[in-house]
Chains A and B, each alone.
Chain A
Amino acid sequence: MAGTSKGKNRIRVAGSMAIAACGWLAFTACDKKEPAVTASTEILIGEFGSMTGATATFGQSTHMGIMMAIDSLNTVGGVLDKTIRVISEDDQGKPEEAITVVTKLINKDRVVALLGEIASSNSLAAAPVAQKSGIPMVSPGSTNPKVTEVGDFIFRVCFIDPFQGTAMAKFTANNLKLTRVAVLRDIRSDYSVGLADFYTKAFTAMGGEILADESYSAGDKDFTAQLTSIIAKNPQAIFLPGYYTEVGLIARQARKLGLTVPLMGGDGWDSEKLWEIGGEALNGCFYSNHYSVDDTSAMVRDFVAKFKRRYEGKVPDAMAALGFDAAMVLADAIKRAGTASPDSIRMALAATQGFQGVTGSTSLDSFRNAVKPAVVLEVRDGKNIYKGSIEP
């Protein structure tokens, strides 16, 4: 260490500062106050999602659904006689950014619960932070099973990918009657990789054959290399479990390269921008989803009508519906908990059974996942046409 007197002095100074600091703390720390539920008139909930970036419609739609739910609750007095205030943060669709905003929501804004995210990768990044801080997190739309495995403070109100992958495999084999499929997955997304794996497992178990398994990276613009390889193997369809921006671009490039067979995917396709990006290249393609706008049930029709009224004619997509349901489930849990303390909310959430929502009835199993049916939609001329439901 420092042999000079200057060095010695430095250490002495540092040491005495530290001791002084601790001395002072000894006085103040005695009076430990829990930064917790105060007697304020608000319940603070944090929302995080991708409001900008390549998956911007996910965050924006979810936000619209959440706000519609919360506002409807606040107009009738809120929950536990307090108004619910939602603090929204944009994670730009990046997992490391999700960690930053969730940490800020928990540490700075002191929210008692979190709503988010849609993309499984972002949920997986943020969940450990929520779990460690003891703040319950309800994901409206992350379907990768690993999300809720992070811990008992993490919940979701949607189905998971083992189910979704099997559902699409069943659809491919039984409805489309195809046996030779290629897979093109997004290697940046836990969701895409997971769903591709579950689909492959289910499809091969049903006797189907996966001819090719190529990958791309979200953010890529040029997929001609992978598509050329796939086309050379002559598949009857391509399973493309990615997010809508790349899906649209891939569809276009695939048609340009002469591919005529259908493309199939999962709920990551669901966005109003899908048609805008992919256009006619998407005609005759299918994807699984959480709900269909054309559902004739009273609850859905009512939701769609109210949504259109509030948001100037915009048609709610699955993320909006899931956001709505997630917010309602959370609010209901707070009510059942009787107090806005994070741990009580957690217990109430875990006990959620039979909650009727736009995306179906939400009952959380022991893994804190919801068991719900999936719908299959066909893309045609800018519309998503209901083709059928697949029960869990």
Chain B
Amino acid sequence: MTVFLQQLINGLSLGSIYALVALGYTMVYGVLRLINFAHGDIYMLGAYIGYFAARVLRGHSIHPLADTLIILTVSMVVCGLVGLLIERLAYRPVRHASRLTMLIIAIGVSLFIENLSQIVFGADPKFFPQLIPEKAWHFSGVILTNQQVLVLAVALALMLLLNLFIFKTRTGKAMRAVSFNLDAARLMGINPGAIIALTFALGSSLAAAGGILVSINIPGIDPLMGVMTGLKAFVAAVLGGIGNIFGAVLGGLILGLAEVMVAGYGSSTYRDAIAFLILIVILLFKPEGILGKGQIEKV
């Protein structure tokens, strides 16, 4: 039983990371109908920016928790800007091209970021400095570390903030309008270009947060860490219903749990496959996802 509970905690930790990254995917898909393959690489960039920020902060540490928040904020802001840049340079020129073209461009952007990072940062894994001295609590055989608690807390907080923003502010409403029907939104006086840019920025900063949070628990970072995570987060978004915020969170958590259970009770070499298996099953039987609505194509 304790093993199960432990795996449950592991799964929720992993799942909340997937959820954060999935949110970015789902939001961008909602407004642009584009699968932004480069999203996973923003997650990676977030981790690296955090790494460098932590190095800078090394000498002037204030307080572990404050340090973490500073690094988190810095990384989120920088990656938000990177997201804006990508949207402006790579996706805006082809806004009206076919979906296939945009998909190929997204692949290109992803490959570009990954390979440039390998040159700039070096392909060898780097190790995130430990910002928070470790403390573990034992509950009858199950171990919870303060780092895990932090990750879960921050992820939850960010998701709640996003939720508030999307459903309780005017800009949030504008975002929802654009994802529902871009042309109608434009008729209502909303500037779709600005909203799309904002969506990218927001999604990217969440991915960056995911990158930092994951590095707190698992300190190894390398330029290709975003590849698998990005794909899996995308699967999570599809699982929950792409375009749906709650769906992304739900999908992320389910995927994280599934993966940890497979790795723990089955074989770790299958852990990557479970994500794709879920994807195929979902797309075959309920392509709109758990919380999504079916779309009828009229002729």
Contacts and interface: CB of A to CB of B under 8 A. Distances in A.
Query: Does a CB–CB distance below 8 Å link A and B in the complex?
Result: yes
A215 B268 contact: yes
B4 to A, nearest CB: 9
Interface string A241-272: 00001000100110011100000000000000
Contacts of A134: none
Contact of B220 (A214, A221, A256): A221
Is chain B's interface secondary structure helix, strand, loop, or mixed overall?
A: mixed
Contacts of A276: 127
Contacts of A187: 268-269
A216 B124 contact: no
Contact of A220 (B143, B267, B268): B268
A226 B123 contact: no
Interface residues of B, number: 27
B263 interface: yes
Interface stretch (A48-56, A105-113, A383-391): A48-56
A352 interface: no
Given A52-B124, A54-B124, A225 B10 contact: yes
A280 B267 CA distance: 29
Contact of A256 (B7, B145, B268, B269): B145
B264 A222 contact: no
Contacts of A277: 127, 220
A53 B269 contact: no
A225 B264 contact: yes
Nearest to A56: B124
Interface residues of A, number: 28
Nearest to B266: A225
Contacts of A52: 122-124
Contacts of B260: 224-225
A226 B134 contact: no
B268 A225 contact: yes
B132 interface: no
B14 interface: yes
Given A256-B143, A276-B127, A277-B127, A217 B218 contact: no
Contacts of B138: 258
Contacts of A229: 3, 264
A41 interface: no
Interface string A270-310: 00000011000000000000000000000000000000000
Contacts of A224: 6, 10, 260
Contacts of A215: 267-269
B283 interface: no
B220 A245 contact: yes
A72 interface: no
A74 interface: no
Given A220-B268, A228-B6, A232-B3, A256 B136 contact: yes
A254 to B, nearest CB: 11
B82 interface: no
8 contacts: A52-B123, A215-B267, A221-B220, A224-B10, A225-B263, A226-B263, A228-B3, A277-B127
Interface of B: 2-3, 6-7, 10, 14, 122-125, 127, 134, 136, 138, 143, 145, 218-220, 222, 225, 260, 263-264, 267-269
